[in-house]
Structure formats: structure tokens, C-alpha cells
Structure 1
Amino acid sequence: DVVSNAQMGGNYKPNLSASSVPMLVQKVYGLSVIVVQELKSYDDQNFLVEEVPGSSLPSDSQFASSHRYVLKILNAFDSRKPAVAEIQTEVILHAKRADIPTPDVIPTTNGNYQLLLSLPKSGFEDAEMEKYVVRLFVFMPDETLDQVALSHQLCYEVGWLAGKLDSVLQDFSKAENSVIASMSRGWNMSHIPELRGKLHIVRCPEQRRIIGEIIDKFETSVLSAQDKFSKGLIHSDFNECNILVSQNFSSVPVKPSEVCRELEHTTSVDNNDVGATEQNFCLDQMQKNVAAKFKCRILTSDNAHSLDTKPWHVSGIIDFGDTTFSLYIFEVAIAIVYIMLNKHGVPAMEAASFFLSGYLQHISLTDFEIKHLKLCVCARFAQSLVLGYFSITSDPGNEYTLTHAERVWPVLKYLWDMPDELAFVQLMEQVTSKL
């Protein structure tokens, strides 16, 4: 989440010093490690650590061959509900047992998968203490999806894995557990109507108008009719930084070649044509630059091809921190938003269609649900744009947020202007299974 600290109303992000990490890992897990680097995170604190030569987990441990790990310290706000974190950990273990490729959770020396520890808030040992949930994961060294060019097969594989995971979690979510119902964070799409209170942060009148229209229609057509949509436990954050890819391993079967053909030719769009007009409406210079910079390059393939000779395949999924019980169409919409924003490789609507084709191999969606997919994707885009601008206001130097915001508006405008029937036809183009 890019703005959840702001939404929480305070700074709850852990601030443990790197020098304190080896002692913590030794005490809790019995491992001697060095810190390789601190990994990017917006709410939590993550450290990549490596075993010191001669140190390892007990030889009878199933993880004895692992040498690199990620120490994850959950933010103080979410650590106040350790039962939710515990359910998330159980979800990971459940997915792992069903052969979903996700990092193993390392138990403590006492056999627990997580601990609630009191740690200094400011990084100094004599600082005020705060309680944080701590977990250790086996490090998966694969690349993240945002670092590679998309292909039709890759889009299909992302959808296939998302559908497979949601299918696997159906068994888990059948268990009676009141905690599951409370697993909701600020980015949950059910909170989209609350964006009205933040629309003032959007300085462009056209953007405000369209976002307002989307919120109204989403609330009326989807949120007020949730009994018409299928629900289940979903990952809820299938974004390009949480999807792992590899050239040596695939967790997903290959889509039939006659369907998953790569286009030999694509139509280019002049980057100076699309998105230029909204500059005239922007009152805030920062948002003006953001709207103008990226244009609409991702609406068509820019003919960017990877120099790699071997194709990339989906190899894993990480970060279950947003897991929630919600509509399956939301899982699809969230993932489609991120693959649509890929800067090269596959045009946006093609990417969405191949993803949907993969997802439907495991989770069935009705015609009614898919006809509302365009609206749900637009609603997620709107949520991302508003919360992104909100975050930029408090943290103008946040490179991730700036980059994300500049990519969102052109695609949102393009999709919102597209007739609903045309959007449905294009989304269904690669779907081969009968609904």
C-alpha cells in the first residue's frame, strides 16, 4: 500500500536499525546472519539476510538448504491485530501445501511462525518501544514482473496463478473464523466511495469529474448489488512487484499456441497525441507534469522486445498482507490494472484478455460479472490515482508513487471512454472456456 501510513493517521512503519537485525534473528531463529540489504516497503520493514558461513538451520529442518531469508517486521498499526497476521500466515501455509509457489515461512526456535516483539520505534536501543509482528521467510531470488517485458503467455500465466490461488483458498475460507471477516485494509475496493472525501486533492477538473462518475456508478452497480457477484478469499494485491518470474521455471501450464500467438505487428501511437489535452485543465504543476509525462504509450505495444533469448514465466507470488474476503471480480480488476500499466510488450486490452483467459481456468465468472469488469477496473484505477495524489502531497519524493500516478490517468481515460460492449468484446477475445 502506498498511502496506508497516511490513512492510519500516523507513522507506524518500523524503524529497526540494520545493525540490530543479526542479534534479533539469532535470538528468535537461532541463525547467524548478515544483512545484505533493506528491501523497499511502504508500511513494513523488510531485510534480506544471508547465513554466515558455518551457520544454518538444524539439519533435520526442511529448510536446511536455504541460505537467504527475508525478515519481515509488520507495521505497528497492523501488529495491533496479531490474529489477522496469524490468519495471513496460515493462508500462506495453506497455499504452500497446495503447491502454490510462495515463500516458505520459517518457524522460530519455539516452533511459532510469528512473534509479537517489543522493538525500539526510532532505531535507537533506548527509544520508546512498540510491538511489532515479526516473521522470517525463505528468500525467492526470482525477478519481479515489473522488470521484464510482458508477453501473451506471461499475461495468461498471471491470470492462471491468480485463479488457481483463489480456487485453493476456497477450502480455507470455508472454515468458520470471525477474523477472516475483519481482514480489510484501506485499499480494499469496498472503500472506494470514501474517495469522495479526498477528491479535492485532484487538481484537474476533468479527472475529478470522471472519477466522480466512476465512484457513483461503481457504488450503484457493484457495491449495492454484491449478492449478484461471487465471493471468496482473495490475495487482493496481484501487482507487478508481487509476481515473480523466471526463465528457468514455470509454475503454470503453457496456453495453447494457437490461442497464445504473439503479434507480429503492432500499431504505434504517437506519444505526443494522447493525454496532451488534460494538461490545460491541471491547476497544480506537479499533477500537470505527471499527466503529461507518460502519455498513452502503454495503450499499444511500443514494439519493445526483451533482449533475452529465453522467455519469462510466472514462478511465484508473494505478500499476502492484503488478503481479504471479497468479490472475485475485484481480484481480476486489481491484477488487470497492473498488467495494463506495463510500459511495453502487450497492448493494454490484450493483456487484460489473456489474463482473464488464464483466471477462468479455475474460477468461473458469469456474463453479468464480466460485463461489470470494465467498471471495476476503472474504479481501481480511480482509487489508485486519488490515493496516489494523496500520497504525493505528503511525500513528493516518493518515486514509486510518482511513476505509478503518471501511468494511471491515460489508461483510465481511454478505458472509461470505451463503449461498454466494445470493452466486453475485447476482454472476452482470448477466453476459450465456455462461461
Structure 2
Amino acid sequence: MADNPAKPNLSQSQAEYIVKKYYNLTPSKLRSLPSYDDQNFCIAAAEGGAYVLKIMNSVHTQEPTMIELQTYAMNFLHDNGLPTQTAQKTAMGYPMFLKRIDCGSGLQKYLVRLLTYLPGIHISEVPSSPQLLYEVGRTAAKMDVALNEMKHPQLNVLEREDFIWSLSSIPLLEKYMKVLEGDPLLEVVKSVLHQYKTTVAPQNSSFRKCLIHGDFNDLNVLVEANESNGYKISGIIDFGDMNFGCYVYELAITIAYMMLEHPNAIEVGGAILAGWESVFPLNAAERDCLFWLVLSRLCQSVVIARHSVTLQPENEEYLMISSKKGIPILRKLFEMGKEQVEKEWFQSAAQFSDGK
């Protein structure tokens, strides 16, 4: 696999030096964590506590305001009772800093943060019980309700117009459609885009707007065992896609991704919807568009992944992880149709809520 030229490549001794000099902590254990375009080290401090030293890639380093807002949001959500990482301040009192580092090809600037370490494993690694999926929906809604109260002088940076991963940007997929030429899936994606334009877009003004995480997926939710032999959510990570969107976008994204690891994907929506609506009930327009928004997210995943592979063919395996699992789910939901899937989701959600 070819190296990502923007990705930092610090040695362990360089990482130890940064932790000692800037945070006055002594690493007793230090190991690398996997990451695609940043560099992460897990650190146990002799003074107590576990942390993640995160060195941002040189591209994202050029967006310090965006990184500052993501860091601020994590701290804000933690203060509001959600299991997010928090940024540890440097000895000089800063939540992040810019450092010139030589990773072997000359000095480059990188943004550096030290975040608290969250216990747990990815939710994709454990069985998705209805109760856990309910908690996923409930947590996602609580997160967005809290984010809607967040104040910051530069929040407008998160408007992110034409952000390709926003569900407002579905029409932008059309310019990448050639990557599906010759694939029967092309007709499915075209049909979903048509439904987005004719069913979703006209009702967009009725969607409640808010700041959303934007990537509440099976790799960004951590869980750990609870007292009743099940699992509880122990962490929410990766705020890199945070943007101003709509509450229903977050719900659709959550359902789409949580279906990827479930043996019967259609069962996922009801429990997540029940959890979500225990905090933030949908209005009529949001309910009517949920099906097409879930399919739109699956289409985004497929088309953007295929396009990315044309740019980075050496990284195909990594880039196609989610979309490979999403393709059969997209086909199945599309074939079942809106009416049948909605009946399954909404009836299941009602029964789940009645049982609470």
C-alpha cells in the first residue's frame, strides 16, 4: 500500500518527547493505534490516566478552526453527560498546538492534541441486540439535542456548503455516477436520486435544523460490557464530519451504518427509531422522508467509495469496507420498497416503545 504523503510518521521517541515536554506527563506505555490519515498513539501515563496523542495530517492541519470546533464540541458534549473524549490542555493552557516535526522528509507543521482514552470496542464487534440499538438511537438524539445548544463565535465554519458527505449534497453524486457505468446498481442509485429530488427536497424546509455529528457509524461508537451481560455505549469518537444539517439526517445516517453488521438489516431501523423518538420525536415530513434518506446515505457510501478508489487504487480494500457491505442492503431495501420497509420500522418502533 502506498504511503499517504499527508500522514505524519513520528517515531515513538518523538511521541514520548511531545507528551513529556508539552503535557508534563511521563509515558509508562506507548503503542501505535491504527488510523488512515492521522497518526495516533495510545499512552498510559506514570502519573495515572490513559490518553490518545493525535497528530493531525498536514491537510487537516491547514484547517485549525475546524479542528478547534470539533475539539470544543467533544468537551461540550462530555460536560453534558455524553461519553466523548476531552482534550487535555498543554502546560501553557492550550487544547491543541501547532508543531514543526521532521518525520523523515523535512520539517512539516502538524496540529497536535492529547485526548482522553475511551474504554471499549467498536459496536461492530458485538451482537446488535434490540436494546443496544435502542440505546444507539437514544444516544444519537441526545447528542444532537445537546449540540443544538452549543455556542461558539465561529460556528458558521460548520455550515460546510457542498460538503460531499452531507445529506443535503445528494444531487452532487450525479457528477461521480460514471464510476457505476456497466453496473446494474447504477439504476438503483439513479432511482434513489430521483426520489430524493421529488420526495425529500420539497419537504426539506420542514426538517428541524441542527448541528450533527454526521458520521455516527459502527466504527465511531464504542461499547463495553454492562452488569446484565449486555453492552452499554462507552464512547463516541471522530467528529471530522460534523456539520450543520438536520436531526433526521443524523437518524438516517445512524440507521444506514448500523445495518451493515446486522444479520437481518431490516430489523435495525425499528429499535433505533424507538430510541431516537424517546428523546426527539419526528414530525410528519421527517417520517415521510426517512426511508429515502437512509437509502441516500447508502448511495453516498457506494458512489464516493468507488470514486475514491479511482483516485487511490492502492487503498481499495480500506475504501470499500462500508460500501461492500452496504450494496446488498441498498438493493434489498430498494426492492422491498418504501411502504413495506416503513411498516416494518414504524410498527417495530411502536411495539418497542410500548414495551418500555
Aligned identity (percent) is 32
Query: Which letter does structure 2 place at the counterpart of 1:420?
Result: K
Paired residue type of 2:180: V
1:12 and 2:6 correspond: yes
Task: Select the residue among 81, 86, 101 that pairs with 1:104.
Answer: 86
Q: Which moved more, 1:156-165 or 1:415-424?
A: 415-424
Provide the secondary structure at the position in 1 that maps to 2:150. helix
Aligned CA distance change for structure 1 residues 192 and 76 (closer, same or farther; 3 Å): farther
User: Separation in 2 of the partners of 1:206 and 1:386?
Assistant: 13
- Report if the CA contact (8 A) 2:123-2:218 is conserved: yes
| Matched residue, 1:360 | 277
2:231 maps to which residue? 312
The reply on whether 1:409 has 2:327 as its aligned counterpart is yes
Query: Whole-Å Cα distance in 1 between the matches of residues 222 and 90 of structure 2?
Result: 26
How far apart in 2 are the matches of 1:50 and 1:29? 13
Residue type at the aligned position of 1:425:
K
Task: Classify the secondary structure of the residue corresponding to 2:137.
Answer: helix
Which residue does the alignment assign to 1:228?
Answer: 206
Q: Greater RCO between the two (CA within 8 Å, min separation 6)?
A: 1
Q: 2:63 aligned with 1:81, yes or no?
A: yes
Moved more, 216-225 or 326-335: 216-225
Other structure's SS at 1:172 match: coil
Q: What letter matches 1:196 in structure 2? A: E
Counterparts of 1:321 and 1:214, CA distance in 2: 26
Q: Does 1:322 align with 2:304?
A: no
Cα offset, 1:35, TM superposition: 5.9
Q: Which moved more, 1:172-181 or 1:68-77?
A: 172-181
C-alpha spacing 1:183/1:111, structure 2 compared with 1 (3 Å): farther
Q: Distance in 1 between matches of 2:313 and 2:90?
A: 36
Of 199-208 and 311-320, deviating more is 199-208
Distance 2:261 2:160 in 1: 32
Q: Secondary structure at the match of 2:32?
A: strand
8 Å Cα contact 1:107-1:113 kept in structure 2: yes
1:96 offset after TM fit, Å?
A: 0.8
What residue number does 1:158 align with?
136
Q: How far apart, CA to CA, are the structure 2 residues paired with 1:159 and 1:343? A: 15
Larger helix share, 1 or 2: 2
SS of residue paired to 2:92:
coil
SS of 1:351's equivalent in the other structure is helix
Q: Is the 8 A contact 2:214 2:241 kept in 1?
A: yes
- What amino acid is aligned across from residue 116 of structure 1 in structure 2? L
Q: 1:198 to 1:312 in 2, by over 3 A?
A: same
- 1:64-213 mapped onto 2 (5 Å cutoff): 65-66=48-49, 68-120=50-102, 123-124=103-104, 127-172=105-150, 177-182=155-160, 185-213=163-191
Q: 1:33: how far off?
A: 1.7
| Secondary structure of 2:210's aligned partner | strand
CA distance in 2, matches of 1:428, 1:135: 42
Alignment partner, residue 373 of structure 1: 290
Q: Contact 1:106–1:135 at 8 Å: present in 2 too?
A: yes
Deviation at 1:427, TM superposition (A): 1.6
Q: Give the superposition deviation at 1:203.
A: 4.5
Corresponding residue number in structure 2 for 1:336: 255
Larger radius of gyration: 1
Give TM-score scaled by structure 1 length: 0.74
Question: How far is 1:333 from its partner?
Answer: 1.1
RMSD between aligned residues: 2.4
Give deviations 1:345-364, integer Å, cap 9, x for gaps. Answer: xx212211100110112223
- What letter corresponds to residue 34 of structure 2 in structure 1? K
**Does the 8 Å CA contact 2:39/2:57 hold for their aligned counterparts?**
yes
Deviation at 1:220, TM superposition (A): 4.0
TM score, norm. by length of structure 2 = 0.89
Q: Please tell me the residue identity of whatever aligns with 1:335.
A: T
Supply the distance in 2 between the matched residues of 1:131 and 1:28 (Cα, whole angstroms).
16
Per the TM alignment, residue 365 of structure 1 is displaced from its structure 2 partner at its CA by: 1.3
Among 193, 199, 217, the residue aligned to 2:195:
217
Q: CA deviation at 1:34?
A: 5.6
* 3-state SS, counterpart of residue 43 of structure 2: strand
Structure 1: tracts of 5 or more residues without a match: 1-9, 57-64, 250-308
Residues 39, 220 of structure 1: CA spacing in aligned structure 2 closer, same or farther, 3 A cutoff?
farther
1:80 Cα deviation after fit: 1.4
User: Matches of 1:204 and 1:427 in 2, distance apart?
Assistant: 33
- 1:277-307 CA deviation, whole Å, 9 max, x = no partner? xxxxxxxxxxxxxxxxxxxxxxxxxxxxxxx
Counterpart of 2:349 in structure 1 is 431
Q: CA deviation at 1:130?
A: 2.8
